[in-house]
Amino acid sequence: MTENSKLKLLLATNNRGKVEEYRSLLSDLPLELLTPENIGTLIDIEETGTTYEENARLKAVALARASKLVALADDSGLEVDFLKGEPGIRSSRYAGQGASDADRVKYLLKKLDGVPWKERGALFRCIIAVAAPDGRVEFCSGICEGIITIAPCGELGFGYDPIFYFPELKKTMAELPMDVKNRVSHRGKAARQVPDVLRKLGYIIT
């Protein structure tokens, strides 16, 4: 398959961390990965859904229709047992609009101040929506389980990665090299289903 014949797949995000992960996760597929910035389609999509699926669908469908390309969007979140599933779908807005990754980490750790290790269980959840320009949508999903640390550790990744600890690996997500993170992460597990959903939508992926 030549470069020109690759399926163009629009990643419905301008988050540099996510774009880097998807370029790694989908690198073995015959896809030309684009971002809204690449094609000048910089539309702002408000995440008004009440579930990960709704938010992922909103973004994927809007970008697919605007660009006339197949679009991939995800909505993901951190769910902490002690906080009854918070921050969940509000993960990126948990510390308020305009908050940085460091602000969100600090805010979450403050909520867990004094909570013992055995009660700090959590999971990351990712839902991917892949939308065709005609509005058809297919979904992928993935989760990974871990523990929220007492303090951040690690310089890799983004978001809540520095406080999400894998007991079996004895490292936080922010300490994992990309190939290991892709193997164990929620986004990695969901992304491995992308070839199947592209086939369901009628695109040939070999």
Q: Which residue among 75, 81, 103, 113 is the active-site one? A: 75
For the question of residue 75 being annotated catalytic, the response is yes
First to last CA, the chain: 9
Structure tokens that stand for 169 in this block: 């690996």
Q: Do residues 187 and 126 make contact, with C-beta atoms less than 8 angstroms apart?
A: yes
Residue 177: what are its φ and ψ, rounded to 5°?
Answer: -65, 160
Give catalytic residues, as residue numbers: 75
